[in-house]
Every structure is written in structure tokens, then in C-alpha cells.
Structure 1
Amino acid sequence: MICCKECIDLLHDYFEGALDQETKNSLEEHFQDCPPCIAFLNTYKSTTTLCRETLNQIEIPDEVRRALQNFLKEHKIQQKKM
């Protein structure tokens, strides 16, 4: 079974549909038994949705968008190394 830290680490891939079926099932099983992770999941989902909606409404220069994407990718890579 997946622990809370693993659950948090997998959230992005979960929302992007990038998990294999077994991992997805384990994650969803964990959500059923862990109210704190469900609360975190709901907050993460709301925040992600709000950010996407906001970014779609604001014209961001390509240079800034690329810099932000590169920063986020690098941050994600560093998180996985931990």
C-alpha cells in the first residue's frame, strides 16, 4: 500500500493520467482510507484548476512561459531525486 508521502509525490502524475493502472488503483485505495490525503487531494485539485484557468485568461509572454515551464520541470526532477 502507498504511504502518504508517496501519495503526495504521485499527485501530479495522477492528475495527468501518467500512472500505470496498478499504481493508480493503489493510490485510490489510499485515498479511501486517509482523510488527510483526501483533503490534500481536493486542495491540490482546486489549486491546479484555478492556476490553469488563470493562466488561460492571462497573456503571458512566450519567454516568461518557457522560463516558468523550465523551472517547474527542474523542480519536479529535484523532488524525484529526494
Structure 2
Amino acid sequence: MIIAAVYLPAQSYLSNQAKLSLLHGSDEELKKEPTKWLIENNMLFSIVASLPQIIAVIAPMLVGSFGSTLSGLAFF
């Protein structure tokens, strides 16, 4: 959870800064559709899009606790 608590705000901040840089830049085409550029370069912040990374980090902890619970229930 600590990793998610650090990762999500940092990703949100960097995505916002990239979008602001695109809007203040000199490329008129990027100013029209900054979201398209952010998506192409994997810089768009979305909790749904970040969910696979979060699950990949948290899954070993969840499986470990689930496994110890199952081993406590086994009677063989």
C-alpha cells in the first residue's frame, strides 16, 4: 500500500506537468490534442490504467497471506 501511496500521486503529478508542458510548447498540433500524445507515450494518468501495475505489486502479499490461511485450515 505504501508503494501505491507514493506511486499514484507521483504519476498524477508527472502526467499533469507533461500536459502543461505540451500546452505551453510551440507545437500547435500537440496543443490541439495533448491527450493523444500522452496516451501514445504512456504518460496519461488513470487509476484504471494503473491497476495492473498496482495488482502486480500487491499480489505477492495477498497470495502469501491467503496461502498461510489455507495451510492453517489443512488437516493432513
Fold in common (TM above 0.5): no
| TM-score interval (norm. to shorter) | 0.3 to 0.5
User: Which has the higher Rg, Structure 1 or Structure 2?
Assistant: 2
